[in-house]
Amino acid sequence: MARSVAALTGFPLLMPNRRIFPDGEQYLRIEGDVNGQDVAVFQSLAFQPDPLLIEYSLIVDALKGGGVRSVVGVIPYLAYARQDQVFRPNEPLSARLIPRLIESVGTDRVITVDMHLHRFKEPGEVFRMPAQNLTAMPLLARHYREHGRASAVIVVGPDSESEQWVRVVARELGAPCVVLEKERFGDREVKIRGELPLKGRTALVVDDIVSTGKTMIEVITRLKSEGAQRVDALVSHALLVEGAKKKMKDAGLNELIYSDTIPGGDAQVSVAPLLAKSLKNL
Ligand code: R5P
């Protein structure tokens, strides 16, 4: 991602040298003169958020030690945002703790994409520093339209928090939308309720994250049983763990379109131009 954004903006690219000490600790060094510079640190927090947060902290500390003027953390997928409430006594409020950690290591500002905002409504409720939350939804919707799948579509959200993304996609496609209700019974069990007027239509499910795919599978099964002719899905962050892609296909999903905020996938849509524009504006 850093490479793509550097190419789009013309900003120079530095890669840290890294290695792991025999005891598992990380060593890194930034090669190059950063004194007085404004630096954007691109950091994934997908799949292994804990060592990646330490890596990010070491990078920012090294940069600050090297005399940079400011650090923008570019974190396309902000992990831990779903634990946004103390659901049971003695749990952490991870959705606020992680932003505070990112801040405490010396970050001056953050740019992220489709942050999981549910009980917190604005990034400013968890970040004290300036934080920009970009959205990949218009890009995903445009890709869907440009590939000719957008006729007789109804846009479907699995749960109340998905409404913010559903509305953007529905507006972009000029399509009607419906938002369902989700009840979660554990990390891998969900139930979906709601009215679905979709006989003979294409249902386009929109969500911020697909992880185990259980939410999607519940929705797809429901949409198929209500007579949807075709079911496609748009998501920003495709974590796709535990064979989720195949399981969703087996449940009847025709096409999954997602962005490249999670490294390593076959994303059809890149958020690099969004991030490049935002950095240029800064
Ligand atoms: C949570 O509310 C999110 O918006 C997603 O619906 C959820 O994280 C998807 O997770 P999974 O794919 O494991 O059901």
For residue 193, pLDDT beyond 80: no
Q: Distance between CA 99 and CA 116 in Å, rounded?
A: 13
Check residues 270 and 180 and name the one with the higher pLDDT. Answer: 270
Instruction: Please count the other Cβ atoms lying within 10 Å of the Cβ belonging to residue 15.
Output: 10
Specify the ligand 1 atom closest to the Cα of 190. 14
Query: pTM for the whole thing?
Result: 0.95
The catalytic residue among 182, 199, 224, 280 is 182
5: exposed, middle or buried (C-beta count within 10 Å: 0-12, 13-18, 19+)?
Answer: buried
For residue 134, pLDDT beyond 90: yes
Look up 182 and say whether it is catalytic.
yes
Q: Distance between CA 201 and CA 118 in Å, rounded?
A: 29
For residue 84, pLDDT beyond 90: yes
Instruction: Please count the other Cβ atoms lying within 10 Å of the Cβ belonging to residue 11.
Output: 16
pLDDT at 266: 93
pLDDT at 271: 98
Answer yes or no: is the C-beta of 112 below 6 A from any ligand 1 atom: no
Q: Distance between CA 123 and CA 132 in Å, rounded?
A: 7
* Centre of ligand 1 from the C-alpha of residue 276, in Å: 28
The pLDDT confidence band at residue 226, using thresholds 50, 70 and 90, is confident
Tokens coding 143? 């890709």
CB contact burial 33-43 (16+ within 10 A = b; e otherwise)? ebeebebbbbb
For residue 7, pLDDT beyond 80: yes
Give, for ligand 1, the residue of 211, 218, 221, 258 to mutate: max count of ligand atoms closer than 8 Å to Cβ: 211
pLDDT at 55: 98
The pLDDT confidence band at residue 258, using thresholds 50, 70 and 90, is very high
Instruction: Give the mean model confidence (pLDDT) for residues 118-134.
Output: 97
Check residues 281 and 197 and name the one with the higher pLDDT. Answer: 281
